[in-house]
Structures are given as C-alpha cells and as structure tokens.
Chains A and B, each alone.
Chain A
Amino acid sequence: MNRLLAYLEEAVASLWRNRVRSILTMLGMIIGSASIIAVFGISRAATSGINSTFASFGQSPVIIYVDNSQNYPQQAQIHYRDLAPVKAALGGSAASVMPIWQKTFAVSFGSTRDYVPVNPDSAYHSDGLKMAEGRRIDAQDVNSAARVCDITQDLATKFFGNRPAVGNFLRVNGGQYRVVGVFADIKGSFLNSIGGTSNLLVPYTTYHSDLTDAPMDFLAIYPTDPLRADAVGKVAIAALQHVHGRRAKYTMQNTADQLKIFTNVLSIVGLGLSVIGGVALVVAGIGIMNIMLVSVTERTREIGIRKAIGANRNDIALQFLMEAVLLSICGGGIGMALGLLTTIGAASLLSKQLGTLLIPYLLIVSIALIFSLLVGTVFGTYPALRAAAMDPIEALRS
C-alpha cells in the first residue's frame, strides 16, 4: 500500500512535469467519458420519467376504437348503448368499462369564460392522481349522473383565483356543475397527455346525458388481470361485432405493450449512443497508449538508472502503468463530472414534461470509474511492458 502510494506520487509528479501534454491526452478521455455518461444518464433518467408517467396512469386500459379503413366506419361506431352488451360479455374479466370522449366545452364562472377539454371519469381509479382538496368522482356520482366535476389546479386558479374551488359551481356547456375536487400536481399524468394542465372531469354518465350523445371516441377497458389484456380486448370486439355485424372492424390498443415498445426503443437508442461513446473511449485509450510510448522512449535513461539501482521489471511496469491509469482516471473523472452536469441540466429540462426524474448517480459514478480504470489498464499495459523489458545497459547508454 505504502509502495503503491509512492508510485502514485511518482506518477503525479511525472504527469505534472508534462502537464500540457497530460491535459491534451486526457481530453480524449474527458470527451469519451462525458458523452457516455451524458447519454447513459439522460436515457436512464428519461426512462425513469416515462415509466413513472405511465405508472401514474395506473393500470393501463385496453383501448378499442373504430377501424377507419373499413368501407362503412359510421356503421361500426361505438354508441353509449353498446356499453351494456360489452359489459355483459366481459363479466368479471373487466374491472371497468368506460366510454371516452375527447371534447372541449365552454366553461365559465361569473365573467371568466374559456374553452376547456372535458374528460369522462368513472368511479374506478387506478391512476395515482392526488387531490389538493376534495374528492374523486365516486360511484354515486356515476350512478346518478350527477353534475359534479373534478378540475386541475390551473383551472381552479383561473376561475376561482384565491376563492375556494370545492363547493363552488362552474357552468359547463350551459349546465351548473359543482366542483367536488381539485387535483394536486398532475405533471406527467394521464390528464396531462390529453389536455395539458387544464382539464375538467365529469362522470361519464353525466357526459353522455348532459354534454353529448355522439358516439364515443373510444372504449377503455381495465382488465381484471392485466396479463389477459389481449383476450379481454378480443371478447369486447366480438361483443361489438355481435351488435354491429361481422363486417364492423375495430382496432385494439394495449397501452402496456406500447410502453414496452417505447422503452425498448429508448434503450436501443441509448445503447447505440453509448457504443459511439465507447468508440470515443477506445480512441482516447489509444491516445494514452501513444503518449505513454513516447514517454517510455523519452525516459529510457531514467528507466536504465532505475534498473541499475535495483528496480525489477514489475517496479518499472507498475510505474508506467500507474501513470496511464492516472491519466485515464483523471480524464474519466473530469468527463464524468461534465457528463453528470449535462445529465442534471437535461433532466431538469425534461422534468417539466415528465415529472420527477431519477438520475442513477451511483451507477454513473461506478461506470465511469470502471471504464476509466479499464481503459488505463488495457492501453497502459503495452507501454509499461515495453519499459519493463528494456535492457538496462542499452537504456543507460541512450
């Protein structure tokens, strides 16, 4: 240990003597390491953000909508009355079946008026949305088609300012709706992906009875067993075809599958970029090897002196290897710091869209250290062995 420390001291001194050259050599390592860390960190952080976004959707529904490529899509349109036969066909295999409309209505309070995206909601809430105040829409609201609504924080501020929102009434498409709840932060949520931070939710029964009698945009089914999502979707489509005829065509979208595809794409992109960063590291390693070979040649006499004094092969090899590793670790360390800063910066930008992101600090630090150590060792070995193999007489004569 003592000895290793002494070698380290020697290596530091030697690198310091040639500081400009050392820094230039490190540059390759800095760039390689920074790019790998940034790419890896950002893609991991983004994946965590996207995963948590999808997680806040709660359980993923199977979405069924009309296939518009068929000859008579209007005949296949899903009406509110189709809910009953679909529910009957699904029985206990669906936890919830809900019609979805995506429409915008005029909403006003006093003289404040705006067009706001309105979404249906049921009493089944698998998402993790938290309320700032009030409650979610419940079974009683749905059963009685009550004129109640939940709104986002932005809407509460827009219409009510500092006044309490819960208990107050909003005029939606001409009807009076009592506000029963205000959502807390909905960054990175299902609502967010539909209508930004302005959103108003009413019971789907009320949506149908008061707001629109148009066919639904799509049907959302929450399977009881998420693993049987495809089978549940097929049963629902069969039930719809039973009502609309065999020629009616429907498309099913399993959001859980989409999430998988999306994260796969992201990880492939991340992997690809990491490979490029890896190439940069190899190039940096070759740079280190090159400089170490130059250094060995320049210091032939020094090697000769050390050998004459009694240094053996290992002593000499270790000394030069130490320098190479030190170069790569310093470069890798600086690169890691830069990459980490880039990751933190990018994550803070992305978090506006994706909510809180997890940056895997420990993983990043250990990857940077391991790679730097690896590059230094791999590319420092050959110059070190060359130095160690030198004949002391030849070396002293130089």
Chain B
Amino acid sequence: MNNQNAIELRDIKKTYKNGALEVPVLHGINASVAHGEYVAIMGPSGSGKSTLMNLIGCLDRATSGTYILDGVDVSSLNDNELAEIRLKKLGFVFQGFNLLARTDAIKNVALPLFYAGIPQRKRNDAALAVLEQVGLADRAKHKPNELSGGQQQRVAIARALINDPAVLLADEPTGNLDTKTSDDILALFNKLYENGRTIIMVTHDEEVARHAKRIIRLRDGLIVSDGPSGA
C-alpha cells in the first residue's frame, strides 16, 4: 500500500467533441499523488483544471491515457463501475456545498452510506461521528437553509469523509465563503491532512493554494509547474 500512489496519471488526454469540432482540453498530463499528500491544482480559467478535476473524480473518462486510483485502473470503467469507485474511494467537496435541500445534516452526511447499502442505524451512528469530527454534532438535525455557509461546507466535508475515501477532492471549497470562514475550512483541511488524509484541491486563489503542501499549475492543458508550495 505504502509504495503505491493514491493517484497516478499517465499521458492523460481529453478532447471534447462538439459536433464535427474537436476541442482538445488536456494534452497529456503526467502526475502522481502519494497517499497522505495535500495538493492544490491551480490554473487560470480555460487551463483544463476543472476537466482534470472531473477526471480525477471519476465523473468523466479520459479520451486516452491511464488513470490509476488507489491501485485500480479506472481508465476504462463503465458508468456504474465509476459510480462504485466514487462511492468507495472518493469524497467530493464543492464550491456550492451541494447539500440536498430540505434534508437535515445527518441525512445529507449519511447519504453515501445509503448508496453503499448500510442499514439506517449504522448510517446514523457513522454520520454523527463524522459530524463530531467537523464540530457540528449539535447541528445534526438542522437543514441546510438553517446553517451558515461555513457550517454547510463542514457538513459537505463530513459527507465526503464518511466513506473513508482514498482521496478527498475539493473544488474551490472556499469560493463561496468569507475570509474568516475560509480560514476555518482551510484549518479543517489542514487537520485532516495531519491525520493522514490525501487531499486534492482545485483553486484559482494563490492565498488558498498556499495552504496545500504541493502546487500543480496548469496552463492550456499542460502542467507547467509542479512543486512544494513553500508552506
């Protein structure tokens, strides 16, 4: 396990087809992320960082290349197999929180376990435990519209953590938050990193990226730099 990388990308290319028009977005990405790393992916808009994020998140497939996630080659899996990978190996945190409205925090957090076929009682126990980790155990019964932005993002992080994923993926996790709340969330990420969690974060904000230990910079579908953040 230890000599194996959490993520290995080999010559990943992605081309979108828009009718007869082919739009190449990624031109061959080679990178690997070891277990326990905290990586930020940066780049201006149009650089392909969102596309790369979707590929890493198994929401999309590369046009060519090999992607090995936690020892599994996921390059050629079908939709349902990718869903299974997302369920078992990945946790998502989005810019817009993406919690289910009118559904209380504990149910939101427990949702992945529902799809994993865990019985309700176990789901609730596990969800409460993760909410505890993010400091929101007392808000378990609150619905998203009864929570602040920072609290909603914490619930989203709890949801991403509940299946103990190999990789935690965060897409502009602080994009909708004020500075103070952003710092709280980033501190939470830091704590998770220190506990050994592998984190990959996409951001365009240098300030935010500096919290990661390593920064991969993209431009026009290629990696232009890859190195420690200096943090």
Contact = CB atoms under 8 A, between A and B. Distances in A.
B102 A17 contact: yes
B59 A308 contact: yes
Nearest to A315: B115
Interface residues of A, number: 22
Given A305-B98, A396-B94, A396-B98, A312 B83 contact: yes
Interface string A6-49: 10000001000100000000000000000000000000000000
A140 interface: no
Contact of A306 (B54, B57, B111): B111
Given A6-B114, A392-B59, A312 B98 contact: no
Contact of A309 (B60, B80, B87, B119): B87
Contact of B84 (A17, A308, A312): A312
Nearest to A311: B115
B172 to A, nearest CB: 13
B175 to A, nearest CB: 14
Contact of A6 (B87, B101, B120): B120
B116 A310 contact: yes
A302 B114 contact: no
Contacts, number: 65
A265 to B, nearest CB: 55
Contacts of B87: 309-311
Contact of A310 (B98, B102, B112): B112
A313 B83 CA distance: 8
Given A2-B119, A6-B114, A393-B59, A309 B102 contact: no
The A contact surface, by secondary structure, is: helix
B79 interface: yes
Given A309-B112, A310-B90, A310-B116, 6 more contacts: A13-B102, A308-B57, A308-B92, A309-B87, A310-B115, A314-B80
B86 A310 contact: yes
A309 B57 contact: no
Contacts of B57: 308
22 contacts: A2-B119, A2-B120, A3-B114, A6-B120, A302-B101, A305-B99, A306-B115, A307-B83, A307-B86, A308-B92, A309-B86, A309-B92, A309-B111, A310-B84, A310-B87, A310-B88, A310-B90, A310-B116, A311-B83, A313-B80, A396-B59, A396-B98
B159 interface: yes
The 9 closest A-B pairs by CB, nearest first: A310-B87, A312-B83, A312-B80, A310-B86, A305-B98, A392-B59, A309-B112, A311-B115, A310-B115
Contacts of B19: none
B117 A3 contact: yes
Given A305-B98, A393-B54, A312 B79 contact: yes
Interface residues of B, number: 29
A393 B79 contact: no
B100 interface: yes
A234 interface: no
A301 interface: yes
B205 to A, nearest CB: 21
B203 to A, nearest CB: 17
Chain A CB within 10 Å — which of B79, B86, B114 has the most? B114
Contacts of B98: 301, 304-305, 308, 396
Chain B CB within 10 Å — which of A301, A309, A311, A392 has the most? A309
Contacts of A304: 98
Contacts of A314: 80
Contact of B86 (A2, A302, A308): A308
A395 to B, nearest CB: 10
B31 to A, nearest CB: 21
B14 to A, nearest CB: 12
A339 to B, nearest CB: 35
Chain A CB within 10 Å — which of B88, B111, B117 has the most? B111
Contacts of B112: 309-310
Contacts of B60: 393
Chain B CB within 10 Å — which of A302, A310, A392, A393 has the most? A310
A5 to B, nearest CB: 9
A329 to B, nearest CB: 23
A306 to B, nearest CB: 7
Contacts of B102: 13, 17
Contacts of B117: 3
A202 B138 CA distance: 92
B159 to A, nearest CB: 7
A384 to B, nearest CB: 15
Contact of B100 (A3, A305, A310, A392): A305
